[in-house]
Amino acid sequence: MISKDLRKLTQGEKLWLWRRSHAWGGGSRGLTQFQAAVCWKMPVKRYWECETDRVTWVGGKFSCSPKVGDLCALARRRSGLTLRKVARLLHISHVTVLAWEKYNEIKLVQGWKRMGWRFP
């Protein structure tokens, strides 16, 4: 059973949120796992294992201050739902789901809360 409490994050989830919030070379927001592994000077497989909580993070300190849109994306990740499935549940398009995640739309948070998710 998955935890619907987004107030409690695993180390891997914090790392995933960190990766979503960083840019590569001044580009758009969000690193690939390869780019993040390069930043931390580790093999991609090892980075993936850390991000998926398969092994303990040993790459150093990092900060994670997720926005509500990031937490909505994390809820989608935890639940295993695709963009299209979330869109169907909320009666919106998958493009709208992505836009609402990006722009921290409160309507998306309300939709997740109606499904039982808890936010900080």
Query: 56, 61, 63, 68: which is closest to 109 by C-alpha?
Result: 68
* Backbone phi, psi, residue 118, to 5°: -110, 130
Contact 51, 19 (CB under 8 A): yes
Residue ranges per structural domain of the chain: 11-51, 68-114
Please give the pLDDT value at position 72: 98
CB distance 4 to 117 below 8 Å: yes
Q: Which runs of consecutive H residues, i.e. helices, occur in the chain?
A: 11-21, 33-39, 44-51, 68-79, 83-90, 94-102, 106-114
Residue-wise pLDDT tens for the chain (120 aa)? Answer: 899 999 999 999 999 999 999 888 777 778 999 999 999 999 999 999 999 999 999 888 988 899 999 999 999 999 999 999 999 999 999 999 999 999 999 999 999 999 999 999
Residue 63's pLDDT is 87
